[in-house]
Chains A and B, each alone.
Chain A
Amino acid sequence: MNKQLSGIYILWKREVIRFFRAKSRVVGTLAMPFFFLVILGSGFSPNYPQSGGERYINILAPGMICMVLLFSSIFSGIRVLMDKEFGFLKEIMVAPISRISIMIGITLGGMTTSIIQAFLLLGISLLLGAQINLYGIPTAVLFMLLISASFVALGIAIASKMEDMHGFQLINNFLVMPLLLLSGALLPINFGEWNFITYLDPLTYGVDAMRVSLTNTPGMPLWLDFAVLAGFCAVCILAGAFLFSQRD
C-alpha cells in the first residue's frame, strides 16, 4: 500500500514540477481566456439584455474559468500520449505499481495544475473588474474539483484508445469545442425547442454552478449541478480506469 501511495505522490509531483517549469505554456493557456475577457467583455458590457442587468464580465468570468478547467484538464489526460511518444510511459508502466495508482496519480496532478490555472484566471477577472463573491469560493472549488477530475479522466480514457497525437485535432474540434460552446460558457444560448441539447452537456452544469457561486447570477439549483457533475465524474473515472488498465 505504501508503495502505491509513494507512486501516486511522485506521479502527482511530476505533473506539478513540469507545470511550474513550463511558464510559457501557462501564459499560453491563460492568454485566450484573458483576451476573451478583455475583448468580449468590453463589447457586450453596457446593456446586455439577457443578463438581467448584470455586467457581462460577471457572466463571462465564471464561464472562462470553466473553459480553462476543461482545456487544461482534458489536455493533462491526453498528455499520456505524449509520454508514450517520448518513451517515458514505458518507465511508468514497467514499475511495480498498479495501473489504477498510475491513473490516480496522473489525475490528481492534472486536477492540481488545472485548478491553479483556474485561480490565476479568477485573479485576472478580479483585476478586470468582475464582482466575485469571495464567500462562494469554497463552493466553487468543490465544483472545480469535480470538473477537473471528470475531464482529466476523460482525457486518459481517450488517450488509452488512441495510438498517437494525430487524433488530437479531431478531439479538439469534435469534443472539446462543442462541450465548451454548448455549455454557454461564452454566452447564454437558446435553441428554442432544441434547447435540451445544452442540458446534455455536462459542462453546462459546471458553468451554471460557477456563476451561481461566484457571481450570484440566477441559475439552476446547486444540488442539481452537483448531482449531474458527480454522476458524470464517476462515469469518466470508471471509463478511464477501465480503458487505461486495458492498454498494453
Chain B
Amino acid sequence: MNVIETNKLTRKFNGITAVDSLDLEIEEGEIFGLLGPNGAGKTTTISMLCTMLKPTSGSATVNGFDINKQQDEVRNSIGIVFQDPSLDDELTAYENLDFHGMIYGIPKDTREQRIEEVLELVNLSEKANLQVKKFSGGMKRRLEIARGLIHHPKVLFLDEPTLGLDPQTRNNIWEHVKKLNESEKITIVLTTHYMEEADSLCDRVAVIDHGKIIALGTPEKLKQSLGGSIISIEANSTLLPQIKKIRKIKEVYWANGRISITAEDAEHLIPIIFELAQKNGVEIHSISLHHPTLEDVFLKLTGKSIREEKADAFDRVRMRIRSRNR
C-alpha cells in the first residue's frame, strides 16, 4: 500500500518553479530518501506534504488524506523533524514532549506512558527533567525525533536530520532511525544531501534536482546503473577521444576538469590508459579508481557535483546559525 502519493505536485515561488510536477509513490514501512543539492526542492516538497505550504497546482495524499482538503487528518498522521531546531530551550525535555502530546490532544494516561516510551527509544530517559538548553546538538535532534513520534504517526518526515552534526553523532542518529523504523513500523521520509546517509539508511532513494526526480530506486540499483567502477583522470581533454576507442569501456565523459571512465573491469584498464597517454604525449596529473557511490549517480545524471562550492558556503553559514541556536 502507498502511504504517500503525489500527483503532478507543483510549487512556484515568484515564477521560479521549486517543485515541478512531482509524481511520487512511497510505500508503507519503507525508509525513503529524497536526495539532492541545496535548493533542489526537497524541503518544499516536505512542507507541502506536511500541509505547511500550499501547492501551486497538483495534489497529494498522505495516509489516504488529501493535503489540500483534509489538513487536520494529514497533520494527525504525520510527525516531522524540521531542518532547523524547533524545541523550546527554556522547557525541559519532558515539558517539550508534554507540550506536543497536549497540543495533539492525547489524553493524560496515554500521554505519560507514551512520553516514557519515546524517551526510552532515543535513550534520553535520564535527561527528561533537564532544560533543553543544556542539551548537545545530537541530543536535541534525538529529542525532536522522539517528539515527532508521540502521537503515533504513520509517516515520520526528517528534513536533513543530521545537518551540522559531527560524524559520530550522525551514525548514532542513523542507528536510532533504523531502530524506530523496525520497532514502530513507521514509514520514514527523509531529505538529505549526504550521499552516505541516503546510501546506508534508505530502502529507496529519489534523486531530485531542480524540482524534478531524475532517478529513483534502491541505492544498490542506482549504483549498478552506472555499470561498474569509475576511473577518474586528471589530464588534458585531448586524451578523451583516444580513451573512447578502448573497447571494454562503458562510458566516458568530461566533468569538473576530469575524465571519468566507467567500466566493469576498471583495475585492468589503468595500465592501458597510461600506455595511451604516453603514446599521445599527454601528461596524466593524477588518476584514481573508486567504486560507484550515489554521488557518481548524481554526477552522471546532472553533470555536476551534489555539493558545489556555493552550497558549501551556504552550509557553513547555516551550521553557524545552528550551532548558535543549539
Contacts and interface: CB of A to CB of B under 8 A. Distances in A.
Interface of A: 2-3, 6-7, 9-11, 14, 17-18, 21-22, 86-88, 90-97, 248
A7 B103 contact: yes
Contact of A21 (B53, B54, B90): B90
A17 B71 CA distance: 30
Contacts of A21: 90
A90 B89 contact: no
Contacts of B95: 14, 17
A26 to B, nearest CB: 14
Given A6-B105, A22-B90, A93-B52, A14 B82 contact: no
Contacts of B51: 94
21 contacts: A3-B105, A7-B102, A7-B103, A10-B99, A11-B103, A14-B88, A14-B95, A17-B90, A18-B88, A22-B90, A86-B89, A87-B82, A91-B86, A91-B87, A94-B51, A94-B80, A95-B75, A95-B104, A96-B75, A96-B76, A96-B105
Interface of B: 50-54, 71-72, 75-76, 80, 82, 84-91, 95, 98-100, 102-105, 147, 325
B103 A95 contact: yes
Nearest to A10: B102
Contacts of B53: 248
A21 B95 CA distance: 13
B86 A90 contact: yes
Contact of A9 (B54, B84, B102): B102
B325 A87 contact: yes
Contacts of A94: 50-52, 75, 80
Contact of A88 (B72, B75, B87, B105): B87
A87 B85 contact: yes
A18 B91 contact: yes
Contacts of B89: 86
Contacts of B102: 6-7, 9-10
Contacts of B100: 91, 95
A11 B102 CA distance: 9
Given A87-B84, A87-B85, A10 B91 contact: no
A72 to B, nearest CB: 17
Given A14-B91, A17-B91, A90-B52, A97 B86 contact: no
A14 to B, nearest CB: 6
Given A87-B85, A91-B147, A96-B105, 12 more contacts: A7-B102, A10-B99, A14-B88, A14-B99, A17-B91, A18-B90, A18-B91, A86-B86, A86-B325, A91-B86, A91-B100, A92-B103
Contact of B86 (A17, A88, A96, A248): A88
A165 to B, nearest CB: 14
A16 to B, nearest CB: 12
Nearest to A21: B90
A177 B76 CA distance: 44
Contacts of A93: 52
B45 to A, nearest CB: 15
Contacts of B80: 94
